[in-house]
């Protein structure tokens, strides 16, 4: 089943995405406008955001960007995949991942890449069903300011 996806680009579009994005990113600022400002800054560096709606309500999002590095060559990196808890098990994550895959292929990318929390086994099952393979650990070091 094909679901209509919409790329979110204007301020009002981005504002309606914030509640769903907070499902995945609860640490985001409490002020919705501040979150939109952050998304806008990312968009200035190539970030794009796809949404699935149920009527006028956003129920799922995928944020991504095209990149290039020495490890993968040209690749599409998926920053965010999130589905509202009340809209899960309807294939929305798979639809979003299919859409970003089509964008990656159409734009000549060599790889699709994403990271997920080690504890997020439900998402890992979805990613594996969609053809992703676990190839590395993503390590970070938090820096004090």
Task: Please write the tens of the pLDDT for every residue from 43-95.
Answer: 999 999 999 999 989 999 999 999 999 999 999 999 999 999 999 999 999 99
In a domain, residue 143? The reply is no
pTM given for the model: 0.91
State how many domains the chain has. 1
In a domain, 136, yes or no: no
pLDDT at 1 over 70: no
Instruction: Report the C-alpha gap between 144 and 131 in whole angstroms.
Output: 37
Q: Indicate whether 135 belongs to any domain.
A: no
**Domain for residue 144, yes or no?**
no
Q: What is the mean pLDDT of the chain?
A: 93
Its domain, for residue 53, covers 5-129
- Residue position matching structure tokens 């794009």: 48
> Where residue 20 sits, what CATH number does that domain have?
3.40.630.30
Q: What are phi and psi of 139, to 5 degrees?
A: -105, 145
Q: Is residue 113 part of a domain?
A: yes
């Amino acid at each position: 089943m094909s679901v209509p996806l919409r790329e979110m680009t204007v301020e009002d579009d981005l504002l309606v995405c914030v509640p769903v994005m907070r499902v995945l990113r609860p640490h985001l600022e409490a002020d919705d406008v501040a979150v939109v400002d952050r998304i806008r800054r990312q968009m200035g560096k190539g970030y794009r955001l796809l949404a699935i709606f149920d009527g006028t309500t956003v129920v799922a999002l995928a944020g991504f960007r095209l990149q290039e590095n020495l490890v993968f060559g040209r690749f599409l990196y998926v920053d965010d995949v999130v589905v509202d808890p009340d809209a899960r098990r309807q294939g929305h994550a798979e639809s979003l991942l299919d859409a970003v895959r089509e964008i990656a292929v159409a734009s000549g990318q060599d790889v699709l890449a994403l990271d997920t929390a080690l504890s997020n086994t439900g998402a890992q099952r979805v990613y594996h069903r969609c053809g992703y393979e676990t190839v590395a650990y993503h390590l970070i070091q938090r820096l004090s300011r």
